[in-house]
């Protein structure tokens, strides 16, 4: 059930793939949905506001955050790549966001972390949310930084955060790896809704996955969030197996949970 607890929500990264998937869904969570990205992505619709902001621009981020009740932070560099753009968008950018939240009295954030924070654990392991990070690249390192920064802002300033380690959120699983990591768009919305509406969130790490039979992750320590996934990758299993070859068990992308990210780089120039 979606409870409309907040008058105005800020959605960063609104022009990205997940931002577009959530744009219509999150309107059920608020009276006004403020959309932010670094690029202009068209006219706003009823119940929407637009706040263009590069996350590396502290003043622009502060203006985007002013007057909102909670933040769903999807913005940033979303793939593995060279360090400098990741630094600006995901490290400087997340600092600017939390500073703006502190300055404007925003007390709840849903932070889009990533499964790549733990990408160098093996696919034969089942992880709990208190296990140490093992990032699989600069992108994973930046999300681990965001998790630590958000914990600091909770301990020091009382800003509650759900660090959602999003798995693979697409209309359907693309390969055999995603049978474990898949998160449907509707379950992503259910998860964000739970994070926005649970009475006491604190600082919580939670894995973003649907109700998949094959899984590497346990949310037992995040039951207070109240997330109950309704979708499953299992209905796609036969089709995925039919169109994909048997895995090469000597391939690091098959051995480790991060998939191809564990082999990306090095980057130069």
In contact, 22 and 37? CB cutoff 8 Å: no
From 182, 189, 191, 181, select the one nearest 225 (Cα to Cα).
191
Is the Cα torsion angle 32, 35, 40, 45 positive or negative in sign?
A: negative
From 80, 177, 78, 77, select the one nearest 137 (Cα to Cα).
80
Count of CB atoms situated within 10 Å of the CB of 184: 22
Residue matched to tokens 């744009």: 23
How many distinct helices (H) and strands (E) make up the chain? 9, 7
Active site residues: 139
For 217, phi then psi, to 5°, come to -130, 145
């Amino acid at each position: 059930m979606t409870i409309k607890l907040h008058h105005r929500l800020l959605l960063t990264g609104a022009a990205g793939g997940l931002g577009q998937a959530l744009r219509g869904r999150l309107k059920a969570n608020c009276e006004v949905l403020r959309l932010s990205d670094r690029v202009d992505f068209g006219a706003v619709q009823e119940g929407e506001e637009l706040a263009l902001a590069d996350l590396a621009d502290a003043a622009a981020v502060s203006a985007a955050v002013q007057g909102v009740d909670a933040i769903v932070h999807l913005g940033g560099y979303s793939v593995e790549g060279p360090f400098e753009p990741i630094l600006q968008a995901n490290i400087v950018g997340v600092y600017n966001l939390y500073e703006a939240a502190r300055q404007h009295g925003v007390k709840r954030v849903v932070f889009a972390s990533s499964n790549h924070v733990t990408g160098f654990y093996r696919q034969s392991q089942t992880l709990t949310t208190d296990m140490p990070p093992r990032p699989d690249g600069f992108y994973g390192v930046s999300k681990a930084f965001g998790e630590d920064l958000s914990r600091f802002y909770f301990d020091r300033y009382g800003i509650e955060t759900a660090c959602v380690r999003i798995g693979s959120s697409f209309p359907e699983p693309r390969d055999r790896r995603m049978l474990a990591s898949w998160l449907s768009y509707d379950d992503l919305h259910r998860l964000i809704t739970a994070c926005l509406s649970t009475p006491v969130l604190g600082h919580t790490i939670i894995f973003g996955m649907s109700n998949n039979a094959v899984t590497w992750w346990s949310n037992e320590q995040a039951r207070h969030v109240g997330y109950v996934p309704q979708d499953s990758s299992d209905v796609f299993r036969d089709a995925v197996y039919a169109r994909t070859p048997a895995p090469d068990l000597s391939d690091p992308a098959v051995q480790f949970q991060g998939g191809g990210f564990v082999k990306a780089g090095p980057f130069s120039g």
